[in-house]
């Protein structure tokens, strides 16, 4: 599976999320990794309601009060383990999953064979992966 993003464990603080993006044939795709109450998850950053990114301007996605991933646009809540929307305008929909694993001191996100991101992610394109936060500091 193609690696999309890598982050050192110490940089992913409890309750925090990091967004990243990659290009497939000139089309930008976005994803995120988040540390929630019971673990670490990664999904395509696309709310099933209006296909918009979940994060707010400060990059927040995890809501500790509800222990859910929260879309900043209309407040939909998602289970961080399954990506299923549990409350809000897209209840019953789900976030396309990415594969996340621990490798040494880092968390590594890879494309997944599950979810509706499958066709986009499995193309044999040259993929440029750029962390949004790194781009802002350039």
Whichever of 11 and 74 has its CB closer to ligand FES, that residue is: 74
Specify whether the CB–CB gap between 49 and 89 falls below 8 A.
yes
Q: If phi over 0 gives left and psi between -120 and 50 gives alpha, with beta otherwise, what is residue 88? A: left
The residues, any chain, with a CB within 8 Å of residue 32's CB and separated by 6 or more, are 17, 18, 19, 20, 42, 43, 45, 54, 55, 61
Among the listed residues 30, 89, 93, 115, the single contact to ligand FES using CB under 6 A = 89
Q: Does 47 bind ligand FES (CB under 6 A)?
A: yes
Stretch that binds ligand FES, among 45-53, 93-101, 104-112, 114-122 (CB under 6 A): 45-53
Where in 2-41 is the site for ligand FES (CB under 6 A)? Answer: none
| Token pair of 52 as six digits | 């918009």
Stretch that binds ligand FES, among 4-12, 67-75, 116-124, 127-135 (CB under 6 A): 67-75
Stretch that binds ligand FES, among 16-24, 26-34, 35-43, 48-56 (CB under 6 A): 48-56
Specify whether the CB–CB gap between 117 and 48 falls below 8 A.
no
Q: Does 74 bind ligand FES (CB under 6 A)?
A: yes
Phi first, then psi: what are they for 2, rounded to 5°?
-70, 135
Among the listed residues 44, 71, 100, 108, the single contact to ligand FES using CB under 6 A = 71
Dist. CA 5–CA 7, nearest whole Å: 7
Residues at the site binding ligand FES, with contacts judged by CB under 6 A: 47, 49-50, 52, 71, 73-74, 76, 88-89
């Amino acid at each position: 599976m193609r690696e999309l993003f890598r982050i050192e464990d110490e940089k992913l603080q409890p309750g925090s999320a990091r967004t990243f993006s990659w290009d497939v044939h000139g089309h930008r795709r976005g994803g995120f990794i988040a540390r929630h109450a019971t673990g670490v998850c990664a999904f395509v950053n696309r709310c099933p309601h209006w296909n918009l990114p979940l994060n707010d301007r400060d990059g927040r996605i995890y809501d500790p009060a509800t222990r859910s991933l929260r879309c900043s646009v209309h407040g939909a809540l998602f289970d961080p383990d399954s990506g299923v929307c549990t409350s809000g305008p897209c209840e019953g929909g789900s976030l396309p999953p990415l594969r996340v694993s621990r490798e040494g001191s880092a968390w590594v996100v890879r494309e997944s064979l599950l979810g509706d991101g499958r066709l986009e992610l499995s193309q044999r394109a040259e993929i440029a992966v750029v962390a949004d936060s790194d781009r802002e500091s350039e």
